[in-house]
Amino acid sequence: MFKYKLVIGLILFVFSVNAQDKSTEKKQIKIVHGANFTKDEVKLPGASIFSRDSERQVEFEHQGATLWCDVAVFYPKENRLLAIDNVRMQQGDSIQMDSGKLEYFGDIKLAKASKNVVLQSPDATLTTDTLYFDREKQESYYRHFGTIVDTANTIKSRIGRFFMETNKYQLLDSVTVENPKYHVLSEQMDYYTDSEHVYMYGPSTITGKDYVMYCERGYYDSKVETGYGIKNTRIDYSNKIIEGDSVYFNKRKQFASATNNIVVTDTVNDGVIRAHYAEVYKEKDSVFATKRAVAINVMEKDSLYMHGDTLMVTGKPDNRIIRAFRDAKFFKTDISGKCDSIHFDQKTGITQLITNPIIWNIDNQMTGDSIHLISDLETDKLDSLKVINNAFIISLDTISKTGYNQAKGKNLFGKFINNELNFIDLVQNVEVIYYSYNDQNEFVGIDKSLCGKVTMEMKENAIDVITYYINPSGQTFPEGQEPETGVKLKGFVWYGDQRIYTKDDIFGEDDNNLVLPIIRGISNPIDIDAEEQERHKNQGDPINNPPNTKATRKKGVPKPTLSKPVPSTKLKQQK
């Protein structure tokens, strides 16, 4: 039994030794052409020194890679090689690296190239002073500035890593991309050479012919100049600045869109739109916004806030129109209102409140079939207002706090001075109910009058003087003697519970309970390689999935190939 175990043990030992020898043999650097050979045990103990002859360079091979150089110092026991002068390493037919010096570690398949290093792949060329090439991981990296040149771009960075299996460069610190059409500055960037797609991290700026995009996390298709940002994103788009959690733009379509916490600033007209979804059409100079959308007209001391389920801003700066649709509301410190829709024409300064309009000027409520607010085009302040058809003005009596001063007629015309309503004219079939007091603010009675026209002068936002014109008639009812049906005019409706007191009151319950969509990648990391593969699968949608096809060569242009080592005869001729 002992002899049997001994024999088995010897067999296993011999098999293990043979396996190790084969494994070692497989990893050993092989000499293909040694040319001139020498040794110097004093200066280079254990090294074999090779130098080129008149016909060929020194040549080595290791696991699918071939290396040429003029001088080589080879350490067989360490499986290490130092190549000097006119060094070239070639892996298959896709990767070629030239340098002045290269140190290669066969056991870990790592090359360290220095002195004017040039790494060529089918899609790009990398130049740097020192480059590490990890053949085990199929990655190369530099730590002190490098330049990548492909068919369209020149890219520079202080630190860079090239992933050969995915044709991706990962670039860090002082990253720049130069192209005749645009340039990019970034702190960190992933760049795919076959698709020319850019993924940015940290502060990054893309400057094109007619746009500038800033983001701290984003994507850019450098072929067709489309992209998006999903962190602190801003796009300067002619006379508009677009900011939001996620902002997308398409140069060819002259289009941009944004989602969540959006601000669109009109730098010409000092206008701002806030929303949670917006689209900007650059060529038409137009904006579409929804989801808690509000247009803000910035004024010297006070701003006008306009809200609707949907906002549309169309036209060039000198002929701009702003529309608010469905449950439209607006607020300014001294005037607010609501209606079904609002139409504002910047050229005329007229704001139309359409369908069931109501406005509140301090304590005065005005209604009618249609209401127009007219602004002074030079001062941008409110100049006047018109209430067209079925004009009705109501205000709570400031002393009794129980009755209402009322006036109605066919049309109403108001005049603002320093944004305060100072004069009101009511015309045609005018009816007035007014609570009258003496100089001691003692109640006198309720005046009820009829006439063809009435003028009201306002003081401290209340009616101070009323003047009746054209066949006035009326009477005063002392307290307790007013007719029950005469305290309120026909058509009286008080909308006090709907009054807008602050800029936040323009938003309804649906606006305040809006649930924002989750934007992929803002709060969680993304597998960029997986996203790049997904982008290739979803080609064809020019807005959401821009084409990501690889660059095509023109007819008659051959596929780029890597050059072979230069024969010695040509080297002599070049010298």
Residue at 83 is within a domain: yes
Residue ranges making up the domain that contains 47 = 2-144
Domain limit, last residue, from 489, 513, 537: 513
Domain count, the chain: 2
List of long-range contacts for 199-203, beta carbons under 8 Å, 24+ apart: 199/528, 199/531, 199/532, 200/229
Residue 228 lies in a domain: no
The pLDDT tens digits for 188-223 are 999 988 888 889 988 999 998 888 999 988 888 888
Identify whether 425 is part of a domain: yes
Instruction: Give the single-character DSSP code of 321.
Output: E
CB within 8 A of 431, min separation 6: which ones? 406, 407, 408, 409, 448, 449, 450, 489
CA angle 307, 239, 517 (to 5 degrees): 45
Predicted pLDDT at 332: 87
Residue 68: its pLDDT value, please?
95
| Residue 301, C-beta contacts closer than 8 angstroms, at least 6 positions apart | none
Say what the pLDDT of residue 31 is.
93
What pLDDT shows up at residue 523? 63
| 70 within a domain of the structure (yes/no) | yes
| Ranges under pLDDT 50 in the chain | 1-24, 540-575
**Domain C-terminal end among 124, 144, 164:** 144
8 Å CB contact between 366 and 356: no
Q: Is residue 531 in some structural domain?
A: no
Measured distance CA(169)–CA(8) in Å, rounded: 53
Position 416 scores a pLDDT of: 87
Task: Please state, for a pLDDT cut of 70, what percent of the chain lies above it.
Answer: 86
**pLDDT score, position 57:** 94
Contacts of 137 (CB under 8 A, 6+ apart): none
Last residue of a domain, one of 87, 111, 144: 144
Residue 61: strand, helix, or coil: strand
459 assigned to some structural domain: yes
Grouping H, G, I as helix, E, B as strand and the rest as coil, residue 497 is helix
pLDDT of residue 521: 65
In this structure, what DSSP letter does residue 5 have? H
pLDDT of residue 486: 62
Domain assignment present for 350: yes
pTM of the model: 0.74
Whether 210 is covered by a domain: the verdict is no
Q: What 3-state class would DSSP assign to 6?
A: helix
Instruction: Supply the CATH number for residue 384's domain.
Output: 2.60.450.10
pLDDT at 522: 63
Q: Are 188 and 171 in contact (CB under 8 A)?
A: yes
Q: Nearest to residue 353, comparing CAs of 327, 378, 316?
A: 327
pLDDT digits (tens, 9 = 90+) for 450-476: 999 999 888 776 777 888 998 888 888
